[in-house]
Amino acid sequence: MNKQTYAFITILIILLCFSCQKSNPTSPAATPDVASTVYAIDTQIAQQQTAAMSLYTKTPTPTATLTATITNSPNTTLTAAAIGTSIAQQQTAVASIFTFTATPTVTVTGTFTGTVNVTLTEAVTLTFEAQTAIANGWTSTNTSTPTSSATPTSTVTSTSTPYAVYITGWGGNGGPQQSCIDYTRNRIYVTDNLNHHIFAYDTTSSNCGGLITYWNGGLLRPGSVGVDINTGNVFAADTSNNRVISFDMNGNSLNQWGTYGSGNSLYIPPQFNNPLGIFVDSITNTYPVIYVADTSNNRIQVFDQAGNCLSIWGPPENGDSFYNPRGICVGSNGRVYIADSSNNIIQVYDTNGNYIKQWGGTGTGDGQLKGPDAVCVDNTRGKVFVADEGNYRIQEFDLDGNYITQWGACSPRGISVDQTTGWVYVSQACGTPVTVYTVIY
């Protein structure tokens, strides 16, 4: 190549490079970590207890305000974190009792300079003090795609591990079995298996555990009790008499049905063999429906309030495999939860007797069971509590059987939940016969 040709090619390359730089200017690099300042203030004031052994409920509403000014480039992901603090008045007397329910509200305002497809993710962490323990882990996540400016909102949920707080307890029963709460009349009924009685106690905060009345009515080792929320009438599984007997709320006998046997109650007078569990469904039905765990017959029988058998679940009628079912509860979701004691599982059916699912299994691990005696549904909060008697504990699940938490109990026989306060009442064979807890979420 001669010198003239080489010079010509060199000049041509320079001109082409200059042209490329003009038509394709270098884009400014996006700032990967955009400066952001977010402040959260979470305050709460708790009513101070003024006397020992007093009971009260506090429902603070913490508020967090976040302000963010953000400048960013396209396709930039920004994560902003804030730590809030809360102050609670300290408990000043022994055996103080309150329920802590916090629903923080978060207000977020933001001014954004940028283009579309900018994704903003904001995380808020709040803490609060509940009684003597601190529940951490309030988090909020919100994602928005602003065009030029936006005001995103955040929903706050708790991710802290739930735990039970002991509230109170009382004694006096010789052999407490299962229990049932009439939350519309502030009563809890507990069967006394050894003394053949049904006890009614007050559940109001001013006199929690105060005896209202008790009665026998010919009972023989009653295993469980249920209540019609609409009328206040009480139904008992009169275990050793192999019958169901009903009373008004003052203990006056209303009706009874059943005798010993294993016959088909659809065609003959009802027969039972050691019935232990009973539940009165007066929520999902226009008229109360009574579910009975016919324990030694390994079946569930369903009756109307007059004692007419409506259906039977279990062998030999439809091949279900119950083995000493003891506890039974119907949730407002239309599901029937059965503590299938000797199978060490919770079985779930719909109210027509169709099998849905089961959970549990023999063991001592989280979610495993050993001789579960009772089951109860918290309809307000969507929780299922199980008296895991053989493992000396109460276990809590969601409505689908996912394990949530647990706490120790002394051979728990029965469990019931006040649908208004959320308090969990446990009847147990040793220690304090009736104990009350609240669960902090």
- 210, part of any domain: yes
Q: Mark residue 71 as left, alpha or beta (left: phi above 0; alpha: psi -120 to 50; beta: remaining).
A: beta
Domain boundary among 160, 181, 213: 160
The pLDDT of residue 92: 32
- 366, part of any domain: yes
141-155, 201-215, 248-262: segment of lowest average pLDDT:
141-155
- 35, part of any domain: no
143-147, 186-190, 257-261: segment of lowest average pLDDT:
143-147
Quote the CA–CA distance of 183 and 207 in Å, as a whole number: 15
Would you say residue 143 has pLDDT above 90?
no
Contacts 24+ apart (CB under 8 A), 81-84: 81/38, 81/123, 81/124, 81/125, 82/38, 82/39, 82/40, 82/123, 82/124, 82/125, 83/40, 83/125, 83/127, 84/40, 84/41, 84/42, 84/124, 84/125, 84/126, 84/127, 84/138
Residues 124 and 220 in one domain: no
Would you say residue 341 has pLDDT above 50?
yes
E strand spans, 258-340: 259-260, 271-272, 277-281, 289-294, 299-304, 309-313, 325-330, 335-340
Please state the rounded mean pLDDT for residues 104-124.
46
Read off the CATH number of the domain in which 263 is found.
2.120.10.30
Residues 90 and 194 in one domain: no
- Condensed to tens digits (0 to 9), the pLDDT of residues 158-208 reads 556 888 999 999 976 567 888 999 999 999 999 998 889 999 999 998 888
The pLDDT of residue 287: 85
- 48, part of any domain: no
Quote the CA–CA distance of 101 and 310 in Å, as a whole number: 41
Domain boundary among 90, 125, 160: 160
The pLDDT of residue 37: 30
Label residue 303 exposed, middle or buried (CB < 10 Å: 0-12, 13-18, 19+): buried
Share of the chain above pLDDT 90, in %: 53
Residues 192 and 102 in one domain: no
Please state the rounded mean pLDDT for residues 9-14.
54
- Condensed to tens digits (0 to 9), the pLDDT of residues 18-76 reads 444 444 444 443 444 433 333 333 333 333 333 333 443 444 444 544 444 444 444 44
Residues in a beta bridge with 300: 293, 313
Residues 179 and 139 in one domain: no
- 18, part of any domain: no
The pLDDT of residue 161: 82
Residues 379 and 247 in one domain: yes
Residues 64 and 81 in one domain: yes
**pTM of the full predicted structure?**
0.67
Would you say residue 87 has pLDDT above 90?
no
The pLDDT of residue 1: 55
Please state the rounded mean pLDDT for residues 380-396.
96
Quote the CA–CA distance of 223 and 244 in Å, as a whole number: 11
Q: What is the mean pLDDT of the chain?
A: 74
Instruction: Identify the band that residue 265 occupies on the pLDDT scale cut at 50, 70 and 90.
Output: very high
Q: Which domain holds residue 223?
A: 167-440
Our count of domains for the chain comes to: 2
Tokens 């200017």 label which residue? 25
Quote the CA–CA distance of 92 and 73 in Å, as a whole number: 54
- 213, part of any domain: yes
Quote the CA–CA distance of 182 and 395 in Å, as a whole number: 23
102-106, 309-313, 378-382, 416-420: segment of lowest average pLDDT:
102-106
Closest-CA residue to 253 (of 183, 198, 190, 178): 198
